[in-house]
Amino acid sequence: KNEVEQSPQNLTAQEGEFITINCSYSVGISALHWLQQHPGGGIVSLFMLSSGKKKHGRLIATINIQEKHSSLHITASHPRDSAVYICAVRFKGSNYKLTFGKGTLLTVNP
Amino acid sequence: GAGVSQSPSNKVTEKGKDVELRCDPISGHTALYWYRQSLGQGLEFLIYFQGNSAPDKSGLPSDRFSAERTGGSVSTLTIQRTQQEDSAVYLCASSLAGDITDTQYFGPGTRLTVL
């Protein structure tokens, strides 16, 4: 069964802390996306990865294809980073379908 | 330029009624996706359009759900004989070409409540 697991489900941090959110998937993929959803707000695509590492500002995303695992890191976290972070993968052979993790609710306190 | 827009933003309907949800993608984007976000279920893929064709309808949950796209632009998701379990936020996204490397741009969603 093609599954995507995220951890932790909930994460509370103090402003300035380094944050890591994890995503594991069950079988081979062609692409992995990290998405951000603010409370009551829309969804924004942060990264698309098929290998290696990408960085955008304070956000870093890595993927290990052999271990079927990806991490999203936030350096120097800020209250405005508070949101739900969602991992989504395109499994090989699934055409255009994205399969989503259940999301990680991040709360950064000042 | 304008992002993805969806209408209505909220829709309350009675069980058994039909509803239509509309998506206006970013101009020039050939790929369009519909997703559903239910409380406790997370996001689910429903259907993918490339132009006016739907090569992947694998996520539509039942034959009560259908979607079409016209002129390679606007798309409509129709739910017939709505049920309470259809209550969710329905999200539309578009991307330039549908390649796996393309960024998907999401609309604000339509919150559907079936009483």
pLDDT in tens, B9-42: 999 999 999 999 999 999 999 999 999 999 877 8
pLDDT in tens, A56-68: 999 999 999 999 9
A44 in reach of chain B (CB within 8 A): yes
Which residues, 6 or more positions from A48, have their beta carbon under 8 angstroms from its beta carbon?
A: A31, A32, A33, B100, B101, B102, B103
CA atoms in the 13 A half-sphere facing the CB of A20: 6
pLDDT at A23 over 90: yes
Chain A, chain B: beta-carbon pairs less than 8 Å apart: 55
Comparing CB atoms, the residue among A48, A99, A102 nearest residue B101 is A48
pLDDT in tens, B58-108: 899 999 999 999 998 999 999 999 999 999 999 999 999 878 778 899 999
pLDDT at A40 over 70: yes
CB contact residues (below 8 A), chain B span 32-51, against chain A: 33, 35, 42-45, 48
Residue of B19, B51, B95 lying closest to A98 (CA atoms): B95
What is the Cα–Cα distance from A14 to A1, expressed in whole angstroms?
37
What is the Cα–Cα distance from B28 to B31, expressed in whole angstroms?
9
A43 in reach of chain B (CB within 8 A): yes
What would the mean pLDDT of A40-61 be, rounded to a whole number? Answer: 92
Q: Where are the alpha helices (DSSP H) in chain A?
A: none
Q: Angle at the Cα of B97 (from B91 to A49), degrees rounded to 5?
A: 75
8 Å CB contact of A42 and B55:
no
8 Å CB contact of B107 and A100:
no
Q: What is the pLDDT of residue B1?
A: 56
What is the distance, to the nearest Å, from the Cα of residue B81 to the centroid of all Cα atoms in its chain? 17
Residue of B106, B103, B78 lying closest to B92 (CA atoms): B106
